[in-house]
């Protein structure tokens, strides 16, 4: 089982991610635009593109080095983003993990921040020794520079992990001066080093989440397409509006429908309600309920690694492009 760090892509997978005709790949290799390695699998030599080579390809395109204008200058519209919902189990940690891995695949330099003491984003990114590592607790309460809490997960992907100690942050944070500004000030000091900064949050209307609402430019509210999740949406939107009013901060809000099942009438109804009540916020991309996402969580890797042709890989691709560029 490969971890995300060691993932390799077949030429077909690469062509699908890069949105190019697969027949173009050999000319990309000849011109030096794409470095392809050969790996012996059984008795055959297979062409493979390691993660770092794919990232380099996209970075070169973005910097215009290959004269390809297609995705040049496509920097994320919102650099600091968060996945949010006061309700648990809607898929925040799952989608945050898939989003940061997908954006890192595109060669963007990404910082993921885990703001939930359960550490699910941390585990989803295959970090299993977080209990020994500093977290945002040390940054906000003990004045540790954020850079000292950052660890590397994979090429282009860094993480501020979380562990159970972070569950105890609310009381000491409440007693700090400028409590809601501390996180955005810490993030501002490292922001230059990244193209994208994305946090997962804890399922509560906590001060810690409030601090991230102050820091963020875009909040991605993950709503499961079930009645209780939909019911909770008014509370979520009210929390965001309260923060905007109190901190005079304009946040872009996107609502991401997750766990959609088109065979279930209730799922269709909730999606319809979301789209009519929150029409200007709801993403076009919908994440279907899929065993591949559960499997990716279990294997602590990207859905591409599980099934590059599956619906989950397509959904995460569409969602990523929408959250990055629109």
Nearest to 187 by CA among 136, 239, 248: 136
- The DSSP H or E segment spanning 52 is helix 51-62
- Token pair recorded at residue 39: 């790996």
Angle between helices 182-190 and 207-215 (to 10 degrees): 50
CB 201, min distance to Mg ion, A: 8
CB 209, min distance to ligand ADP, A: 12
CB 276, min distance to Mg ion, A: 28
CB-based contacts of 200, cutoff 8 Å, min separation 6: 82, 83, 92, 93, 96, 97, 112, 113, 114, 115, 116, 120, 121
Helix (H, G, I), strand (E, B) or coil at 221: strand
Count residues binding Mg ion (CB under 5 A): 3
Closer residue to ligand ADP in complex, CB, 211/258: 258
Cα 101 from Cα 157, distance rounded (Å)? 7
Q: Is 87 in the site for Mg ion (CB under 5 A)?
A: no
Task: Give the footprint of ligand ADP on this chain (CB under 6 A).
Answer: 88-94, 120, 203, 258-259, 287, 289-290, 293-294, 297
CB 57, min distance to ligand ADP, A: 29
Q: Is 120 in the site for Mg ion (CB under 5 A)?
A: yes
CB 135, min distance to Mg ion, A: 15
Closer residue to ligand ADP in complex, CB, 53/314: 314
CB 248, min distance to Mg ion, A: 29
CB 169, min distance to ligand ADP, A: 18
Interface region with Mg ion, contact rule CB under 5 A, candidates 68-76, 85-93, 138-146, 268-276:
85-93
Closer residue to Mg ion in complex, CB, 55/220: 220
Of Mg ion, ligand ADP, none, which one does residue 125 interact with (CB within 5 to 8 Å by kind)? none
Contact in structure between 61 and 68 (CB atoms under 8 Å):
yes
Contact in structure between 246 and 211 (CB atoms under 8 Å):
no
Burial environment of residue 251 by CB neighbours within 10 A (0 to 12, 13 to 18, 19 or more):
middle
Closer residue to ligand ADP in complex, CB, 89/165: 89
- In DSSP notation, 53-99 reads HHHHHHHHHHTTTTS--SSTT---S-SEEEEE-SSSSSSHHHHHHHH
Closer residue to Mg ion in complex, CB, 33/97: 97
Interface region with Mg ion, contact rule CB under 5 A, candidates 61-69, 93-101, 123-131, 291-299:
93-101
Question: Residue 247's Cα: distance from chain center in Å?
Answer: 25
Of Mg ion, ligand ADP, none, which one does residue 55 interact with (CB within 5 to 8 Å by kind)? none
Of ligand ADP, Mg ion, none, which one does residue 89 interact with (CB within 5 to 8 Å by kind)? ligand ADP
Q: Which residues bind Mg ion (CB under 5 A)?
A: 92-93, 120
């Amino acid at each position: 089982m490969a971890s995300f760090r060691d993932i390799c892509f077949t030429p077909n997978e690469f062509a699908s991610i890069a949105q190019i005709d697969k027949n173009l790949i050999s000319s990309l290799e000849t011109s030096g635009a794409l470095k392809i390695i050969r790996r012996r699998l059984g008795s055959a030599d297979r062409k493979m593109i390691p993660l770092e080579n794919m990232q380099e390809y996209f970075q070169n395109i973005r910097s215009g080095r290959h004269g390809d204008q297609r995705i040049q200058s496509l920097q994320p519209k919102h650099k600091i983003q968060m996945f949010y919902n006061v309700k648990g189990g809607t898929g925040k940690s799952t989608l945050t993990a898939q989003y940061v891995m997908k954006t890192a695949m595109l060669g963007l330099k990404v910082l993921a921040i885990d703001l939930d003491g359960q550490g699910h984003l941390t585990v989803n990114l295959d970090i299993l020794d977080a209990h020994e590592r500093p977290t945002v607790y040390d940054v906000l309460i003990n004045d540790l520079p954020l850079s000292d809490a950052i660890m590397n997960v994979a090429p282009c992907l860094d993480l501020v992990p979380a562990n159970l100690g972070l569950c105890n942050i609310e009381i000491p944070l409440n007693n700090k001066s400028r409590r809601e500004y501390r996180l955005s000030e810490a993030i501002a000091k490292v922001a230059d080093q990244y193209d994208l900064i994305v946090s997962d949050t804890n399922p509560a209307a906590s001060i810690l989440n409030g601090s991230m609402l102050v820091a963020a430019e875009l909040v991605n509210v993950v709503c499961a397409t079930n009645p209780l999740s939909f019911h909770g949406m008014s509370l979520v939107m009210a929390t965001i509006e309260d923060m905007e009013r109190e901190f005079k901060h304009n946040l872009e809000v996107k609502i991401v429908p997750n766990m959609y099942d088109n065979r279930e009438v209730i799922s269709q109804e909730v999606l319809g309600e979301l789209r009519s009540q929150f029409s200007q916020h709801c993403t076009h991309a919908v994440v279907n309920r899929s065993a591949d996402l559960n499997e990716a969580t279990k294997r602590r890797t990207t859905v591409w690694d599980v099934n590059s042709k599956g619906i989950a890989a397509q959904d995460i691709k569409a969602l990523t492009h929408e959250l990055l560029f629109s």
